[in-house]
Amino acid sequence: MRIFWFNTEASQDPLTLVYSSTTTTTPSRELSFPPEITKKIIDYLPRSSLPAIASVSKIWYATVMPILYKHIYIRTLPHWILFVRTITHQHFQFAHHIASLVLKPSPKLISAQLTSYLNQAVVPNNDQLQPSTRGYVRLERVNYDLTGLEGIDTPMSQETLKDNLHENYIEIDDTEKEYEWLTLVTTQQLVSVLEHCPAIEYLNLSGCENLEDDFLIQLAATKTAADPIHAKPLKGIWLSLLRNLSPKGIESLLKFEKNHIGTSVLRHLDLAYNINMNERALEKMITYWGPTLTHIRLDTIYQVSDKTMKSIANYCSHLKLLHVSRCWNITNTSMRLLASHCKHLQYISLAFLSQVNEEGLRALVQSLHQLQWLNITGCGINPLFKPIILENFANYRRQHTLIPIHLQDGSVNLI
């Protein structure tokens, strides 16, 4: 990257090179732009260029670093360990600027043994240059221009399906190698990070299955002790597959927001596979956060029942997405409540709800005009009449000029 000074009085050669990221020479003149101009320049740059820009001068460093640390997106264990070491350093000054912390599975991996075989022809007969045959290597680089929040509000379409960057994203597959590093993230590491981060608004730790309640309690304590200017309410929480969590942690965050914020801004809540979550805790969350929630995922929380669904119907009028797969206590009663109260629903997953049959599904199909995706895998529809029932659903949508619904109906294998 290069920065030029444009001199309007020099007609022959108006451009003067003042900085180049490819050289180590001292800038030919001081880059003392007004702060608003500096900020405007930085806004046009990709995130991957910000570290280089920060080295231009002290003024640019002070402007760039809060922007660079606003969104933390980590996909490998070495990067996570380095981040923990950085943020806990006594001289680190930018932790209160962090607005999002997102940990996700690594880019696609391949066996190092396979890549070694592929490279043998390139560097024959030289053992020192041969890559290691142990472990795995990434097939692609980590993209430092991303924040990890891409797609959280992006509608599902053919274009977004390819990279799973849409609001109806599929669940993490915890059997894949790319997921493995998340299981090595410890509660103590996260506590040491969050005690410095009162401004966090988005927290995505899905897949970090060995975490316990202490990190949520610490986050609530950090926000409570911080200056009100820095203590921000949460807008998105993704804690899927954290099976060791109990209501205690999430309720500590709820208590902070009730006592110190007073109004909810939370839009995304993912507690899938939090098997220790109980009905009482869910009721508290939905009562407070419900009016602003647009996306809820409660898959495989066995305490979810018609009572929970009634709370969702009563408080979550802006809901666009609801996933309650494998919540076996839900019945047709809940479907009728959703159909009458949550008119903005577009994506619903009811997989393996054996007590939900064609009667409940009919209420959704006929009443939710914006509905476009419905997972009915393993539902209680009579298999003999299933093709006829689904065809009747499609005919109803066509006759009433409603958008068609993509029915996700996977096979169920009995062992």
Residue 385 backbone dihedrals phi, psi, to 5 degrees: -105, 5
Instruction: Return the pLDDT at 135.
Output: 65
Query: pLDDT of 140-179, one tens digit each?
Result: 777 788 899 999 998 988 777 777 788 998 888 878 888 9
* Burial class, 128, CB count within 10 angstroms (exposed 0-12 / middle 13-18 / buried 19+): exposed
Q: Order of strands, edge to edge, in the sheet holding 295-297?
A: 71-74, 100-103, 202-204, 236-238, 268-270, 295-297, 321-323, 347-349, 373-375, 406-408
SS3 90: coil
**DSSP 8-state code for residue 56:** S
Q: Evaluate whether 132 touches 116 at the Cβ level (below 8 Å).
A: yes
Name the CA radius of gyration of the chain, rounded. Answer: 26
Structure-block tokens of residue 272: 């899938």
Which two tokens mark 264? 């909810």
pLDDT of residue 50: 85
pLDDT of residue 19: 56
pLDDT, tens only, 325-343: 999 999 999 999 999 999 9
User: What single letter denotes the amino acid at residue 59?
Assistant: I
| H or E element in which residue 374 lies | strand 373-375
- pLDDT (tens digit, 9 = 90+) per residue, 288-301? 999 999 999 999 99
> What is the 8-class DSSP label of residue 295?
E
d(Cα 144, Cα 107) in Å, to the nearest integer?
12
Helices (H), 120-213: 158-161, 187-194
Half-sphere exposure of residue 309, counting CA atoms within 13 Å on the CB side?
Answer: 26
Task: Find, among 337, 334, 340, the residue nearest to 357 by Cα.
Answer: 334
Residue count (the chain): 415
Using alpha carbons only, give the angle 217, 105, 302 rounded to the nearest 5 degrees.
55
The per-residue pLDDT string of the chain (415 residues; one tens digit each, 9 = 90 and over) reads: 566 656 666 666 666 665 565 665 555 555 567 777 878 888 888 888 888 888 877 888 888 888 889 999 999 999 999 999 999 999 899 999 999 999 999 887 776 665 544 444 444 445 554 445 556 666 677 778 889 999 999 898 877 777 778 899 888 887 888 899 999 999 999 999 999 999 999 999 999 999 999 999 999 999 999 988 889 999 999 999 999 999 999 999 999 999 999 899 999 999 999 999 999 999 999 999 999 999 999 999 999 999 999 999 999 999 999 999 999 999 999 999 999 999 999 999 999 999 999 999 999 999 999 999 999 999 999 888 999 999 999 999 999 999 999 999 876 544 4
User: For residue 203, what is the enclosing H or E element?
Assistant: strand 202-204
Secondary structure letter of residue 28 according to DSSP: S
pTM of the shown model: 0.86
Tokens of 222: 């950090």
Helix pair angle (214-225, 247-256), 10° resolution: 10
Query: Which parts of 188-283 are beta strand (E)?
Result: 202-204, 236-238, 268-270
CB 63 within 8 A of CB 32: no
CB 274 within 8 A of CB 239: yes
Residue 48's φ and ψ, nearest 5 degrees, are -65, -15
